[in-house]
Structure formats: C-alpha cells, structure tokens
Amino acid sequence: MFTRYIPSPPHSSLEVGPFNFHFYALCIIAGIAIAVWLGDKRLRAYDPNLTSVVADVAIFAVPFGIIGGRIYHVLSSPGDFFGSAGSFLDIFAIWKGGLGIWGAISLGALGAYVGLRRVGRTRPDISLPHFPVLLDALAPGILFAQAIGRFGNWFNVELFGRPLDAWWALEVPVTKRPSALRAFETFHPTFLYEAIWCSLIAIILIFFGKKFLPGQVFAIYITGYCLGRFFIESIRIDAANLFFGLRQNEWVSIAVGALALAYFLRIRHKHNVSGRI
C-alpha cells in the first residue's frame, strides 16, 4: 500500500552477534569510501602517475575532518556535553550524530594539506599536483559523502524541519517530535533536501569542472553548498543558537559562502592579470 509520507526507520542500528553497527556510522564510512574512490579516479585522470595519492592523503584528511566536525558540533552545542544537563562522555559518541560540516571541511582540508606534504616526502618519484588541484579532485566525492552522511540523520530521526503535509514529508515518531509540535505527524525531510542538493552540485562539477581554473571547482563546491544550506537551515527546528533572528549555521553559510565566492573571483582575476603580462 502506498504511503503518503517517508517513513522513519524503526531502528538506528543493527546487531550482529556481539556487535552493534550504528547506521549513522555506516553512512559516514560509506561516504568516506566513495569520496576516496572518486577523488582517486579524478586525480588519476589529471595525471595517471598519481596512483593511491588520495588514499595516502586520506589517512590524514579523514581523521582531521572527523575531529574538526565533532569539535564544531560540541562548541556550538555545549549544553549537550557540559554542566549538569550534559554528558561529557557523549563527546566521543559520534554514532549518535553530531558532525558539524564547517569544522569537518576546515580541519579536513588542513589534514589533506598535511597528507599531501607527507606524500611528497615519501614518494619523491612522482610530481605532486598543487594543493588546489587536489581539492578540486576531491570536491565532488566530498559532496557525495555529505549526501550519504545525511541519511545517517534519517536513521537517527534527527534534524528534520518544520511540520509539512505533503507526500514527501517525513513521518516522525511522537517520541522524536519537539514537545510543542507533538500534534504534528509529518515534517520537512531536510536530510533528503540536503542529500539531493549536494548530489546535484557534485554532478555539475563532474560534468563542467574542466572549464574552471585550479581551485575554482572547490570554491564552487563551498559556495554552492552554502547557498543550499542557508535555505535548508531556515527550515530546521532543532535547537540552535540565534543571532539577530537567524540560526548560527545560516550566518556561517553567509560568511563562508562569501569567502568562497571571493576566492573564486580572485583566482579568475589573478589568471587574467598574469595572462596580460
């Protein structure tokens, strides 16, 4: 029988013998695997000699990104972890959700830079690409990883939006609904909105990325993601810090998106100036 809404998963984990596999963590792992595979494929298309460079870089970028994402989440939601109302040990329980994309991108990029420098010392036989070229190669895969990671929020039944009466709405169990909205059964599936948005940007970058200068693909990724995240964030109803009527991540989207756009234009300007010399 056809349902008028997207059902919430009945379980957030799978027990196999003594092991308990959390779907949120499995989504993160699957996203990382696809990001590494696609990034490696794109980098080898740039230079066939760069075999396994992405995998070597990922040894640093992935843990840096996870740590950065968790730090951002903890700092933006301190009440969940500190004080009488919080649980300090939950800082390490990432399978429950809570990886801030801004911290993940920032420290993940730093880890990628460290990893690329490390590869340069251990593999002097190859000519490594410039860091912006590496970021461009990684960008679509990171977007697909973000899209898959959002399904982890679906399994955890979290970060959904305002009440919505539509066939694509997400059915939320009463125990997961905010107390003030217990009377509503279906809500905006913001996890799905963001997954679709990230996938669309990734596909665009894959098909049209060759038209841009080194570094611009990554800049488009950041700018495009921030644009979508701003509007999706405005729909969400989970607890968030508010500043002048906007949620914290809306302000971050504006600031980071503006910086990425400025970086995109700066690359073009530098190219035009050098071309006239």
Q: What digits encode the pLDDT tens for the residues 37-90?
A: 999 999 999 999 898 999 999 999 999 999 999 898 888 877 677 766 667 677
Residues 144 and 276: their CA atoms lie apart, in Å, by 38
Say whether pLDDT at 270 is over 90. no
Which residues, other chains included, contact 148 with Cβ-Cβ below 8 Å and sequence gap of 6+?
27, 30, 31, 34, 195
Confidence of residue 131 (pLDDT cuts 50, 70, 90): very high
Say whether pLDDT at 277 is over 50. no
Question: What pLDDT, on a 0 to 100 scale, did the predictor assign at position 63?
Answer: 95
Question: In this structure, is residue 4 part of a structural domain?
Answer: no
Question: In this structure, is residue 173 part of a structural domain?
Answer: yes
Question: In this structure, is residue 7 part of a structural domain?
Answer: no
Q: Please report, rounded to a whole number, the percentage of residues in the chain having pLDDT higher than 70.
A: 94
Confidence of residue 1 (pLDDT cuts 50, 70, 90): very low
Question: In this structure, is residue 1 part of a structural domain?
Answer: no
Question: In this structure, is residue 2 part of a structural domain?
Answer: no
Question: What pLDDT, on a 0 to 100 scale, did the predictor assign at position 276?
Answer: 52
Range of the domain at 55: 13-276
Q: Name the domain count of the chain.
A: 1
- Of 77-86, 204-213, 220-229, 265-274, the least confident: 77-86
Question: In this structure, is residue 8 part of a structural domain?
Answer: no
Residues 67 and 91: their CA atoms lie apart, in Å, by 11
State the average pLDDT over residues 160-171.
Answer: 96
Helix (H), strand (E) counts: the chain = 7, 6
Question: In this structure, is residue 5 part of a structural domain?
Answer: no
Question: In this structure, is residue 197 part of a structural domain?
Answer: yes
